[in-house]
């Protein structure tokens, strides 16, 4: 059983920033996310796309924002349950909750913050016969551990940032990397497209366009695929097939927790603290809805801040918290570190 003050469901930017605001209040956080790494959409869909509306940062790459958020919360030592989805919830008599994931991991929390962005991300699967049979038998929709592909032959399909970046990265891991895209043009960061072009010339990546995978082969494990190019079909040997066609957001099991739902979003009390209709359960970021809602990262940061204040009062009834700016109070990390401004020096000037 994982014990925590606040269980955060969703490791996107809003969920990550919640750890910092909770840490200032000495509240411990643990995060559940269906993806294999923190960052949500920013890490999985557009890590190399710039974001222009983060205060104080004229522009920052989405992946860099995730890196910065992870560095910011490191001092508060959050726990992570990755590659798992929150499945069931039980509210105990003392008002706390037990949340169990699809893999049976149990979490005991005093409060829950649903920060799931647009919901649980599910991979968009190509319509290929028997593809479900080969899942985890050679078909992978995420690169959870690059070492799985060490010295293996792999085929990647897709034309976005993920397909480009993983083709380039795995060229140094796998024995052979083949990238297949149904168009000649790629929709990705310019430096990634240029590097792939270089890798193709050097023979590090076998690029086949325009083409698509039409069938999979193998008895117990994938060992070959058939591709269609220029109305001709060709079968090539491979150990793994990784289709990277993006992710589909769904609210998932959370939709059955008894929360008030409106248009696939969770209704909250935005006049006070972004609490749902179930006391102790909050929803922040893109996953919630209320009059005037704007789905912006900076709005999620604001909601996370007010929510943490509410959780503090819930867990410490009657205890008055005096808000101090971090420029005055400093920041005390759970790891023993302390960040504070240099003390003023009183000294006469001759």
Neighbours of 346 (CB within 10 A): 5
Say whether 106 sits in a helix, a strand or coil: strand
Task: Give me the residues of the chain with pLDDT under 50, please.
Answer: none
Structure confidence by residue, pLDDT tens digits, 206-254: 999 999 999 999 999 999 999 999 989 999 999 999 999 987 767 788 8
What is the pLDDT, as a whole number, of residue 120?
64
Q: Can you read off the two tokens belonging to residue 114?
A: 């649903």
What is the pLDDT, as a whole number, of residue 34?
87
- Burial (CB count <10 Å: 0-12, 13-18, 19+), residue 120: buried
Q: Can you read off the two tokens belonging to residue 341?
A: 């401004």
Structure confidence by residue, pLDDT tens digits, 4-18: 999 999 999 999 999
CA distance 336 to 76: 9
Q: Can you read off the two tokens belonging to residue 191?
A: 């430096």
Average per-residue pLDDT for the chain = 91
User: What H or E segment, with its residue span, contains residue 177?
Assistant: strand 176-180
Q: What is the 3-state composition of the chain as percent helix, strand, coil, each rounded to the nearest 5?
A: 25, 30, 45
What is the pLDDT, as a whole number, of residue 110?
97
Q: What are phi and psi of 250, to 5 degrees?
A: -140, 145
What is the pLDDT, as a whole number, of residue 121?
66
Q: Are 2 and 81 in contact (CB under 8 A)?
A: yes
What is the pLDDT, as a whole number, of residue 173?
94
Give Cα 148 distance to the centre of its chain: 21
What is the pLDDT, as a whole number, of residue 308?
96
Neighbours of 230 (CB within 10 A): 7
What is the pLDDT, as a whole number, of residue 134?
95
What is the pLDDT, as a whole number, of residue 250?
74
């Amino acid at each position: 059983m994982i014990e925590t003050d606040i269980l955060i469901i969703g490791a996107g930017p809003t969920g990550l920033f919640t750890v910092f605001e909770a840490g200032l209040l000495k509240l411990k956080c643990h995060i559940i996310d269906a993806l294999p790494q923190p960052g949500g959409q920013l890490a999985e869909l557009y890590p190399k796309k710039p974001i222009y509306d983060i205060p104080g940062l004229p522009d920052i790459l989405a992946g860099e924002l995730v890196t910065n958020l992870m560095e910011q919360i490191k001092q508060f030592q959050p726990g992570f349950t990755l590659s798992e989805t929150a499945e069931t919830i039980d509210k105990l008599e003392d008002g706390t909750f037990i949340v169990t994931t699809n893999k049976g991991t149990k979490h005991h929390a005093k409060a829950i913050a649903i920060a799931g962005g647009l919901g649980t991300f599910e991979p968009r699967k190509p319509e290929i016969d028997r593809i479900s049979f080969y899942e985890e038998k050679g078909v992978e929709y995420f690169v959870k551990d690059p070492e799985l592909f060490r010295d293996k032959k792999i085929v990647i399909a897709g034309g976005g940032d993920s397909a480009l970046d993983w083709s380039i990265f795995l060229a140094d891991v796998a024995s052979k990397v083949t990238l297949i895209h149904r168009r000649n043009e790629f929709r990705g960061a310019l430096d990634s497209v240029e590097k792939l072009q270089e890798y193709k010339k050097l023979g590090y990546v076998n690029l086949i366009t325009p083409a698509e995978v039409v069938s999979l082969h193998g008895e117990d494990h994938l060992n070959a695929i058939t591709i269609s190019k220029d109305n001709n079909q060709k079968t090539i040997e491979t150990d793994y097939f990784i289709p990277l066609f993006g992710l589909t957001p769904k609210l998932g099991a959370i939709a059955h927790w008894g929360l008030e739902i409106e248009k696939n979003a969770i209704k909250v009390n935005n006049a006070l603290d972004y609490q749902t209709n179930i006391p102790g359960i909050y929803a922040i970021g893109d996953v919630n809805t209320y009059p005037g809602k704007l789905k912006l990262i900076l709005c999620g940061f604001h909601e996370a801040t007010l929510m943490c204040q509410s959780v503090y009062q819930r867990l410490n009834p009657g205890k008055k918290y005096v808000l101090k700016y971090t420029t005055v109070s400093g920041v005390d990390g759970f790891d023993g570190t302390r960040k504070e401004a240099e003390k003023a020096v009183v000294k006469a000037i001759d």
